[in-house]
Structure 1
Amino acid sequence: MTFVSPPGYQPVYNPRIPYLGPVYGGLRDGVSIYIQGSASKDITRFLINLLCGESESSDIALHLNPRFDGCDKVVLNTRQGGSWGSEEKIHSMPFSKGKAFELVIMITSKGFQIKVNGKEYLMFPHRIPVEQIRAIQVAGDVSIQTINIIGDAGGGMYPGGMGGGYPGGSMGGGFPDGMGGGMGQGGYPGCNIGGAYPGGPGGSMGGGHPGSQLPGMGGQPVYNPPVPYSSMIPGGMYPKRTIIIRGMIPHGANRMGFNLVVSRSRDIAFHMNPRVKEGAVVRNTRTDGKWGKEDRELSMNPFMEGQYFDMSIRCGNQRFKVFVNGQHLFDFSHRMSFSEIDKLEIEGDVQISYIHF
């Protein structure tokens, strides 16, 4: 049996749309599907399907279909044996044309608890057992930054996670007949899915991506904490320990700080300070109230107004490795013992949606 890394470590980044990719290990209570994306400026509709098989004609345990058609609504449904169930239509639209969004679909014993941009949206009761879900499909007028499966499904080790996209196969079957707007059955003529994620898990992201060989994450994630945020780090920092932080830079943001702190002395062992207006990400330490020498060099700067980010800070024996949106951003060599770090602090112009130690 091949072990697939626990969720939180095999995100799919920037898949080609339409996308259809497997969910290894299935889903169960306590797991969440986390999707960052943005709706096109001229959007008419898009869909997210949780499929019970690895083809677009499989049964659909959850069909989530925002429609911008003058009478904006979100349609929810299921499909079994080729037949659609009874539609639920919600006339409050949480998505906006041309705007980024963050969608969390949380699996509970009662149903799918859906949150958009940090706000509770609705609960859709299960009609098909979630254990049957095998794939995720995304199509329509939308671009996706990341699809991620997160959360602990009992006992830490959870052999689930995202796979790559399926080669071949045209889209269209994912929409009910009544889609309209040229997007009914077969509404994507000649549009192949292709390798939405080159090489599948560990293909393009093997080796360097944090978590390629990591143990399961402990503890529960923190959703939507207020900023400034301060929390003790359960168990402190040690080699291979990874902190995942996801959030958004609001418009008008100037700067923010992410600090790994030794609470006993108030020293900051690692200070990361994205300065949005300046286009810099400054790194430093502070001991006995005095700042050290700044590190500034960067290959790219992902921290821009209106952008979501997905960051992991991984502790090594010699240095911290920081990845943002699946790409290595920088290393920061330890200047004091990482074993004394016991606190995470976040401050400044940033909205945080998710923290997991």
Structure 2
Amino acid sequence: MILLKCRRGRPQWNTSRLLFISDNTEDDLHLNNSFGDTGLISPDKEDISRILTVPFSGRIRGGMRPGKKIIIMGIIDPEPDSFDISLTCGHNEENDDEDLTDVALKLRARFTERQFLRNARVSGKWSEEETPITYFPFIPDQPFRIEIHCEHQRFRIFVDGHQLFDFYHKVKSLQAINMIRIVGSLQITKLG
């Protein structure tokens, strides 16, 4: 079960709030997952809109591990260009230069080309971009649900309940993958 915790603090990626995705069940702000019974409690709508502003960044408490999954629900903008979802290994505290962090998984949806790209950056070098998909699952002005399942060897990516592709780990320490960043032509409605 993934729970969310909000904390005021130093701005990250031009946001003033930091959200924690956590396995800790004590003293956390919970967002519910409307697909299935998670036992989570929903904050009021005003709290959700403040927390889930795009661009968004949040900490994954305890990092990733096999069996952990992240669910992102939202609505694509009416005239979208692209959006990115990145799972990273923190950020550089000293100079706040996100170009120095490892990116375990970067998903990029490009609407004009109808592509859902993925790659990773380790030690400053990007891996070869993976492009093949059976179909482009995103529709302007429509809701979506992305699930990122972490397994021992790979991430499994589902969109609206359908497995779209696998992405094999380039970052070997799954626990080091402790941040999520979401930017682009979408609104986030739920994250868990």
Give your verdict on TM over 0.5.
Answer: yes
2:48: which partner in 1?
A: 223
- CA gap 1:227/1:150 in 2 versus in 1, 3 angstroms: farther
**Partner letter of residue 230 of structure 1?**
S
**What is the deviation of 1:350?**
1.0
Aligned counterparts of 1:328 and 1:236: Cα–Cα separation in 2: 23
**Bigger RCO of structures 1 and 2 (CA < 8 A, at least 6 apart):** 2
- CA gap 1:253/1:239 in 2 versus in 1, 3 angstroms: same
| Alignment deviations for residues 31-66 of structure 1 (CA, whole Å, 9 cap, x no partner) | 9684xxxxxxxxxxxxxxxxxxxxxxxxxxxxxxxx
Question: Which residue of the other structure, out of 92, 104, 108, is the alignment partner of 1:273?
Answer: 108
Correspondence 1:249 to 2:76: yes
1:152: which partner in 2?
A: 39
Aligned counterparts of 1:33 and 1:284: Cα–Cα separation in 2: 27
**Partner letter of residue 223 of structure 1?**
I
Aligned counterparts of 1:303 and 1:267: Cα–Cα separation in 2: 27
**What is the deviation of 1:304?**
2.1
Question: Quick check: 1:248–1:307 contact (8 Å CA) kept in 2?
Answer: yes
Correspondence 1:335 to 2:170: yes
- CA gap 1:355/1:31 in 2 versus in 1, 3 angstroms: closer
**Partner letter of residue 339 of structure 1?**
Q
Aligned counterparts of 2:86 and 2:101: Cα–Cα separation in 1: 11
- CA gap 1:269/1:238 in 2 versus in 1, 3 angstroms: same
**What is the deviation of 1:151?**
4.6
Q: What secondary structure is seen at the aligned counterpart in 2 of 1:223? A: helix
Question: Quick check: 1:274–1:280 contact (8 Å CA) kept in 2?
Answer: yes
Structure 1 or 2: larger helix share? 2
Give the fraction of aligned pairs with identical amino acids, expressed as a percent.
32
1:289: which partner in 2?
A: 124
Aligned counterparts of 1:301 and 1:313: Cα–Cα separation in 2: 17
Q: What secondary structure is seen at the aligned counterpart in 2 of 1:339? A: helix
**What is the deviation of 1:276?**
1.2
- CA gap 1:223/1:150 in 2 versus in 1, 3 angstroms: farther
Aligned counterparts of 2:104 and 2:33: Cα–Cα separation in 1: 33
| Structure 2 gap segments, 5+ residues each | 2-29, 92-99
Aligned counterparts of 2:40 and 2:116: Cα–Cα separation in 1: 35
| Alignment deviations for residues 216-240 of structure 1 (CA, whole Å, 9 cap, x no partner) | xxxx9x8341001000001210001
**What is the deviation of 1:149?**
3.8
2:155: which partner in 1?
A: 320
Aligned counterparts of 2:58 and 2:31: Cα–Cα separation in 1: 23
1:353: which partner in 2?
A: 189
Question: Quick check: 2:32–2:40 contact (8 Å CA) kept in 1?
Answer: no
**Partner letter of residue 236 of structure 1?**
G
**What is the deviation of 1:340?**
1.2
Question: Which residue of the other structure, out of 142, 145, 162, is the alignment partner of 1:310?
Answer: 145
**What is the deviation of 1:288?**
3.3
1:102: which partner in 2?
A: none
Aligned counterparts of 1:250 and 1:280: Cα–Cα separation in 2: 16
Question: Quick check: 1:267–1:288 contact (8 Å CA) kept in 2?
Answer: yes
Q: What secondary structure is seen at the aligned counterpart in 1 of 2:175? A: helix
CA RMSD of aligned residues (A): 2.3
Aligned counterparts of 2:126 and 2:161: Cα–Cα separation in 1: 30
Q: Give the TM-score, by structure 1 length.
A: 0.39
**Partner letter of residue 314 of structure 1?**
H
Q: What secondary structure is seen at the aligned counterpart in 2 of 1:305? A: coil
Give 1 or 2 for the bigger CA radius of gyration. 1
Aligned counterparts of 2:66 and 2:56: Cα–Cα separation in 1: 24
Aligned counterparts of 1:340 and 1:266: Cα–Cα separation in 2: 11
Question: Quick check: 2:62–2:175 contact (8 Å CA) kept in 1?
Answer: no
Correspondence 1:298 to 2:185: no
**Partner letter of residue 190 of structure 2?**
Y
| Structure 1 gap segments, 5+ residues each | 1-5, 7-29, 35-147, 155-219
Question: Quick check: 1:250–1:306 contact (8 Å CA) kept in 2?
Answer: yes
Question: Quick check: 2:62–2:178 contact (8 Å CA) kept in 1?
Answer: yes
Question: Quick check: 1:267–1:286 contact (8 Å CA) kept in 2?
Answer: yes
**Partner letter of residue 187 of structure 2?**
Q
